[in-house]
Amino acid sequence: GILKAGGAYVPIDPDLPSARQAYMLSDSAPRALLTSQDLLASLPALSVTALVLDGHDESARLALQPINNPDAKALGLKPNHLAYVLYTSG
């Protein structure tokens, strides 16, 4: 879903200190954050839209999305677009 929508995946470990999470979110500058209800409260203050995938409103909106794969050319996706960003401890 993330790649097909033209996004890049940036995993944020919920067990990391909140300062590290905040740095990762600030540095990666996401347009949206996909999370679950149980992790939402533990995230640092966000200046980005958080989509709670198991939340009632999001579940209903996701159910309305098409089941067909979007055409990569129509989305403007190219091989040089980011797929993911990984932050390491070192």
CB-CB neighbours of 15 under 10 Å: 7
Distant-in-sequence, close-in-space partners of 63: CB < 8 Å, separation ≥ 6: none
Picking from 72, 21, 79, the residue whose alpha carbon sits closest to that of residue 50 is 21
20-52 confidence digits (pLDDT tens) = 998 999 999 998 888 898 998 888 777 788 888
| 60: confidence class by pLDDT, cuts 50, 70, 90 | confident
SS3 49: strand
What CATH architecture applies to the domain 1-90? 3-Layer(aba) Sandwich (3.40)
Nearest to 36 by CA among 14, 15, 7: 14
